[in-house]
Amino acid sequence: MAALSSMFLTLPIILLSLTVHEFAHAATADALGDPTPRWEGRLTLNPLAHLDVFGTLALIITRRFGWAKPVPINPAYFKNWRQGMALVGVAGPLSNVVLAFLFALPYRLGISMPYYFDLISYFAIIINLGLASFNLIPIPPLDGSRLLLVFLRGKNLYIYQQLEQYGQFILLLLIFTGATSTIMMPIMRFLAFLISGRRIL
């Protein structure tokens, strides 16, 4: 019963968090001159345009990591494709950090909340910081891989591009071995303390 109640509390947060994350990618690409997300119907806050069934279920179960349908991007439209891809990549995780900050404002301001509001805020912080830290892992197809493109050149870039085809398998291996949690938790704790002013994770 408690698990069912928890799911009903977290599901709206998950829908909001995934939708805002993908919309941030789409809006940033559009602002940088790439009309592809607009053409594909991704420049919207309608959750149905963004959600991936398995990624949403993963986030419901773990409250740490999940994913939505990738926003299609054409870097040829960017004036500087490296910079453009990096900005589009960081926009999603940054939007989740902003959401977590908004939900953490009562903690930051020392406002006492009723139990269920406090629980919703807590779940929202965990989910959004989990999404942000998970997606910043520099493994394709996660957003962190786009940030790496800014720094890689020559042979290193070539090797990385060859590894892209194995990115999903590497990511699944890290998830099932628990390595992702090891990577994410220090980041989540640091960000949670930064935005709330207290140790909540």
Residues that are catalytic: 22
Q: What are the φ and ψ backbone dihedral angles of 58, each rounded to 5 degrees?
A: -60, -40
Q: What are the φ and ψ backbone dihedral angles of 9, each rounded to 5 degrees?
A: -75, -40
Positive or negative CA dihedral for 180, 105, 51, 63? positive
Cβ neighbours for 187, distance < 8 A, ≥ 6 positions apart: 129, 132, 133, 136
